[in-house]
Amino acid sequence: MSIEVAHHYKDFVKLSETLYIMITITGYLVKQISLTYNTKAFLKIIEFLKDPVFLSYPYELDHYMVKTVRQSTFIANMYRYIVACCVVLFFVYPIVDHKSLPFPFPLELGVYTYFMYAFQIVAVGLTAWNNSSIDTLTTSLMGITAAQLDILYEKIIGIQNEAPEGGNNEDKNVLKVLRQCVEHHNAIMQLSANIKMYIATINSQFIMLLNYIIILMIQLFMYCWYGNEIMLKSVEIGDACYKIDWYHRDKSVGQFLFIIMERSKRPLTVTTVKLSTLSLTAFKSLLQWSYSCLALLLKMYQEPNNEQQI
């Protein structure tokens, strides 16, 4: 593909056909290398999730974790289904468009063309499957973080029900629960930090490209959605502290609540290479920027054609 890019750098159509898949495969290779290099960090995250602080919550709050698991499974299945459709289109596209291979190859293969055809399809299929697995695995970890924030939110609010009237004994119980909440909050922030370090990547041709773009948008949206959920739910932890009658409690209760509120003022964020925060705002900005670039390219592409017609 690098040879094709160097050979057709003046041909915008052929260059775009080569670059769009080359960039994706390069991105996958970077993710795969990063995952292999950070295997210990990933296993550390999995082991960290077994910590009792993440598991010691009331049974009635388990629905948050169940919801996250179901949501992650549904998104993963839908994402892989769309990826499979894209791979099928890669298989059908050369036949419909009368091309010998799905992707450009700089040499004449003769009788070996069919072998190269099969090799490219299998390679793309395996790459797509592994790439989607890495994406859904990472977003599932982000979903678990968001669910833990929901559980912490409910645990803080639940303090009101455990000791509604105040008193020394009640305040001792409240302090005990608050200590657990502080530990839980610290663990969630550590989990978010670990994930942040781990993440540190209408013709037949039109249908194929459209399907491919949809997959890229879904891929990006998954990361931005869960990143946005972590931001919102981390801020809500501070709101939960205001919903209990802290003014009737002991001074030490207020101190613990103050610690939690101060820490929750700064939202937990997940960034990509420390350049951009994963959020719906970032997703919207990227769509606007992409549209502006597309409009500029179309204008540049249409001007030479208009001059030729004149």
d(Cα 61, Cα 58) in Å, to the nearest integer? Answer: 6
Contact indicator for 103, 4 with CB cutoff of 8 Å: no
Question: Quick check: is 39 in a domain?
Answer: yes
- Full domain range(s) for residue 151: 2-278
The count of structural domains within the chain is 1
Q: Residue 260 has which token pair?
A: 């939690």
Grouping H, G, I as helix, E, B as strand and the rest as coil, residue 100 is coil
Question: Quick check: is 107 in a domain?
Answer: yes
Contact indicator for 272, 199 with CB cutoff of 8 Å: yes
Residue 277, φ and ψ in degrees, nearest 5: -85, 135
Contact indicator for 185, 260 with CB cutoff of 8 Å: yes
Strand partners, 272: 276
| pLDDT values of the chain reduced to their tens digit, one per residue, 310 residues | 555 555 555 555 565 666 666 767 777 777 777 778 778 888 888 888 888 888 888 888 888 889 988 988 898 888 888 888 888 887 887 777 777 777 766 677 777 788 888 888 888 888 888 888 888 888 888 888 888 888 888 888 887 776 555 556 667 777 888 888 888 888 888 888 888 777 764 444 455 556 667 767 777 888 888 888 888 888 888 888 888 877 777 778 888 888 888 888 888 888 876 777 888 888 888 888 877 877 776 776 566 555 555 5
Phi and psi based region of residue 274 (left: phi greater than 0; alpha: psi -120 to 50; beta: remaining): left
Strand partners, 276: 272
Question: Quick check: is 164 in a domain?
Answer: yes
d(Cα 48, Cα 54) in Å, to the nearest integer? Answer: 9
Question: Quick check: is 300 in a domain?
Answer: no
pTM of the complete model: 0.70
Question: Quick check: is 298 in a domain?
Answer: no
DSSP line for 114-142: HHHHHHHHHHHHHHHHHHHHHHHHHHHHH
Question: Quick check: is 287 in a domain?
Answer: no
Q: Residue 9 has which token pair?
A: 């750098």
DSSP line for 228-297: HHHHHHHHHHHHHHHTS-GGGS-HHHHHHHHHHHHHHTS----EETTTEE-SHHHHHHHHHHHHHHHHHH
Question: Quick check: is 91 in a domain?
Answer: yes
Question: Quick check: is 182 in a domain?
Answer: yes
Q: Looking at residue 30, what is its pLDDT?
A: 74
Q: Which of 121, 124, 128 is nearest to 218 (CA)?
A: 128
Q: Looking at residue 202, what is its pLDDT?
A: 45
